[in-house]
């Protein structure tokens, strides 16, 4: 009997995924500037190596089995029946423009099923190989966990096709009770939504199957377990299965609030909720004040709460160069009192990030684009990977390096090399990064129309055309980013700033290196040094 294996090339570590680890942003087709649906995903974990996964389409004989390995750890969980036909999958999107993202909320620990075969990561990638649209994906996902058991904790999934976007929230029933309780809500076409490691579905319509689907026992099970005792119509999935705490607000819901606040002026009042000061929850979705573009979504994934009450670039923790980053752990203690770092959307520990764009007016092979990047969203380049490509670029290829094997041909390592230079002198160096980001992403947008017109002239050749194009764009971006790293190393070496114009370093009259600027530190930093040290460094004569 032939067996197909869901290989462990998805797996990058023996460690579990970090808490408060991912972010999904959502835009309905009537809320976007061009009529596309869009979702984002930041796969955040210190143990995740950024690669672009790929499964070829295939047909499978009856009796074929599929081995399942937990996405986070590589642990073998068991095997399931393979589908008769599977679809081409590139990253988190398949050839039918179906895209799926997730964030982990965990929820009640007693509901984890240690005997389940389907973990949340495998659930995503198996479903992408089996479903053509969002509603079909929900059916596949809930059917798989009902038949084989759900191994993971609570999850929020974003499931999108060119016409619809749904949020599915799911949690197991505990060891010995196979399956899961769940609810799925369709996001209105003219709205935006988001989730970030906290369950977000509160009350939901019980008699609107067009816009809400749920397991028959989602409420009765909560009552049985003692999580809820009121009327069915007042039931809140989030309150029953993932009760809110300070971390759920400040580290998780705050990211959702930052997105909502950016595009809906009425959401400013929820800043106290984002900070954990009040507990009245935000809505699952809101109507934006204006329509959002692809570029808006890419920029939002680079957010660090700039310009809000949670902006943390100007206190002592940001250092002399106003870094919007802090190093782990998320919480720390001084004199018996706990304190926290902020947890913005853009974070240093991302493995990969994407903005998935699904366009209903184009053939599937052309319409679906995974704008893909590796490492920190604020320091990456979103590169177009079409959903029909049959090979991945070398710089994103699975197996090109790993978390403990540096590779000079891997985008993940090149981006980490650049980002880890930038973090220490953020004010200066990130401006150089932004210039190259804009240069590359503007090029991709400018090239898009021409390549899509070429692909439309012969749809049978479109996958080959777009495969070659995606690979070339990725390699171009990789080469340019490597040059950026070399440029930054020279310009900022040893704490000075070497003079340059348009990327060319200035030389003296004899062809040698011009004297660099000894820039030192900002004035306010020196003032803080004197405040702390007094006359220790005073020049006496």
Whether the pLDDT of residue 376 is over 80: the answer is yes
Give a yes or no: residue 201 inside a domain.
yes
Whether the pLDDT of residue 198 is over 50: the answer is yes
With contact defined as beta carbons under 8 Å apart, do 18 and 47 qualify?
A: yes
Whether the pLDDT of residue 17 is over 50: the answer is no
Give a yes or no: residue 84 inside a domain.
yes
Give a yes or no: residue 242 inside a domain.
yes
193 CB-near residues (< 8 Å, 6+ apart): 25, 26, 165, 167, 187, 200, 284, 285, 286
Give a yes or no: residue 125 inside a domain.
yes
Give a yes or no: residue 323 inside a domain.
no
DSSP state of 134: H
With contact defined as beta carbons under 8 Å apart, do 175 and 162 qualify?
A: no
Give a yes or no: residue 403 inside a domain.
no
Residue 500: per-residue pLDDT: 87
Of 255, 286, 304, which residue sits at a domain end? Answer: 304
Between 347 and 5, where is the model more confident?
A: 347
Residue 45: per-residue pLDDT: 93
344 CB-near residues (< 8 Å, 6+ apart): 255, 258, 303, 304, 305, 310, 324
- At residue 111 the predicted structure's pLDDT band, cuts being 50, 70 and 90, is very high
Of 263, 287, 304, which residue sits at a domain end? Answer: 304
Q: Give the Cα separation of 26 and 103 in Å (integer).
A: 13
Of 271, 304, 337, which residue sits at a domain end? Answer: 304
Whether the pLDDT of residue 330 is over 60: the answer is yes
Residue 280: per-residue pLDDT: 93
Burial zone of 329 (CB within 10 Å; 0-12 exposed, 13-18 middle, 19+ buried): exposed
**What is the tens place of the pLDDT at every residue in 522-535?**
999 999 999 999 99
**What is the tens place of the pLDDT at every residue in 429-441?**
999 999 999 999 9
Three state DSSP letters for 411-461: HHHHHHHHHHHHHHHHHHHHHHHHHHHHHHHHHHHHHHHHHHHHHHHCHHH
Give a yes or no: residue 346 inside a domain.
no
Residue 117: per-residue pLDDT: 97
Residue whose C-alpha is closest to residue 45's, from 70, 74, 16, 8? 16
Residue 19: per-residue pLDDT: 54
Tell me how many domains the chain contains: 2
- At residue 512 the predicted structure's pLDDT band, cuts being 50, 70 and 90, is confident
DSSP state of 92: T
Whether the pLDDT of residue 538 is over 50: the answer is yes
Residue 501: per-residue pLDDT: 87
Cα→Cα distances 279→101, 253, 311, 422, Å? 27, 11, 21, 37
Burial zone of 75 (CB within 10 Å; 0-12 exposed, 13-18 middle, 19+ buried): middle
Residue whose C-alpha is closest to residue 171's, from 140, 199, 129? 199
Question: Does this model's pTM top 0.75?
Answer: yes
Whether the pLDDT of residue 340 is over 90: the answer is yes
**What is the tens place of the pLDDT at every residue in 286-317?**
999 999 999 999 999 999 999 999 999 999 99
**What is the tens place of the pLDDT at every residue in 204-252?**
999 999 999 999 999 999 999 999 999 999 999 999 999 999 999 999 9
DSSP state of 108: -
Give a yes or no: residue 458 inside a domain.
no
**What is the tens place of the pLDDT at every residue in 67-107?**
999 999 999 999 999 999 999 999 999 999 999 999 999 99
* Full domain range(s) for residue 517: 500-533
Average pLDDT, the chain: 94
Residue 16: per-residue pLDDT: 36
Cα→Cα distances 420→146, 321, 375, 405, Å? 44, 14, 11, 17
333 pairs with which residues across the strands? 338
Residue 490 host element (H or E): helix 462-492
Residue 46: per-residue pLDDT: 92
27 CB-near residues (< 8 Å, 6+ apart): 37, 38, 39, 165, 192, 292, 297
Whether the pLDDT of residue 8 is over 60: the answer is no
Q: What is the mean pLDDT of residues 485-500?
A: 93
- At residue 503 the predicted structure's pLDDT band, cuts being 50, 70 and 90, is confident
Whether the pLDDT of residue 20 is over 80: the answer is no
**What is the tens place of the pLDDT at every residue in 457-486?**
999 999 999 999 999 999 999 999 999 999
**What is the tens place of the pLDDT at every residue in 152-191?**
999 999 999 999 999 999 999 999 999 999 999 999 999 9
What is the maximal distance between C-alpha atoms in the chain?
90
Residue 339: per-residue pLDDT: 95
């Amino acid at each position: 009997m032939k067996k197909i294996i869901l290989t462990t090339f998805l797996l990058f570590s023996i460690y579990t995924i970090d808490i408060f680890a991912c972010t999904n942003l959502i835009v309905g087709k009537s809320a976007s500037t061009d009529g596309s649906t869009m979702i984002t995903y930041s796969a955040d974990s210190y143990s995740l190596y950024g690669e672009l996964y790929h499964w070829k389409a295939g047909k499978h004989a009856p009796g074929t089995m599929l081995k399942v390995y937990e996405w986070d750890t590589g642990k073998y969980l068991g095997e399931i029946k393979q589908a008769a036909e599977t679809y081409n999958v590139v990253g988190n999107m398949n050839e039918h423009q179906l895209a799926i993202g997730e964030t982990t909320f965990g929820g009640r620990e007693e509901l984890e099923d240690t005997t389940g075969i389907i973990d949340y990561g495998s659930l995503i990638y198996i479903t992408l190989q089996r479903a053509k649209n969002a509603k079909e994906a929900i059916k596949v996902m809930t059917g798989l966990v009902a038949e084989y058991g759900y191994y993971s904790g609570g999850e929020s999934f974003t499931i999108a096709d060119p016409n619809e976007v749904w949020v599915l929230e799911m949690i197991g029933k505990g060891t010995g009770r196979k399956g899961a309780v769940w609810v799925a809500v369709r996001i209105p076409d003219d709205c935006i939504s988001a989730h970030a490691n906290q369950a977000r579905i509160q009350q939901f319509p019980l008699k609107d199957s067009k816009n809400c689907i749920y397991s028959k026992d989602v409420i009765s099970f909560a009552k049985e377990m003692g999580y809820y005792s009121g009327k069915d119509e007042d039931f809140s999935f989030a309150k029953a299965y993932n009760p809110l705490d300070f971390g759920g607000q400040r580290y998780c819901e705050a990211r959702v609030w930052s997105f909502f606040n950016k595009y809906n002026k009425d959401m400013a009042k929820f800043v106290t909720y984002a900070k954990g000061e009040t507990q009245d929850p935000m809505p699952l979705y809101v109507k934006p004040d204006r329509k959002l573009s692809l570029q808006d979504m890419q920029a939002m994934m680079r957010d660090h709460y700039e310009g809000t009450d949670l902006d943390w670039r100007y206190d002592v923790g940001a250092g002399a160069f106003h870094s919007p980053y802090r190093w782990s752990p998320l919480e720390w203690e001084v004199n018996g009192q706990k304190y926290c770092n902020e947890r913005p959307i853009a974070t240093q520990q991302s493995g990969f990030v994407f903005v998935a764009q699904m366009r209903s007016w184009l053939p599937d092979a052309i319409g679906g684009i995974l704008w893909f990047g590796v490492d920190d969203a604020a320091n990456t380049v979103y590169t177009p990977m079409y959903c029909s490509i049959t090979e991945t670029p070398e710089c994103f290829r699975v197996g090109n390096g790993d978390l403990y094997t540096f590779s000079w041909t891997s985008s993940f390592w090149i981006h980490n090399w650049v980002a880890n230079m930038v973090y220490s002198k953020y004010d200066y160096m990130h401006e150089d990064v932004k210039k190259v980001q804009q240069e590359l992403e503007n090029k991709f947008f400018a090239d898009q129309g021409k390549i899509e017109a070429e692909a439309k002239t012969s749809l049978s050749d479109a996958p080959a055309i777009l495969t070659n194009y995606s690979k070339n764009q990725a390699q171009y971006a990789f080469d340019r980013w490597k040059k950026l790293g070399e440029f930054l190393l020279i310009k900022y070496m040893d704490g000075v700033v070497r003079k340059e114009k348009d990327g060319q370093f200035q030389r003296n009259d004899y062809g040698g290196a011009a004297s660099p600027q000894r820039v030192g530190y900002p004035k306010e930093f020196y003032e803080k040094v004197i405040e702390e040290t007094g006359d220790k460094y005073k020049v006496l004569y």
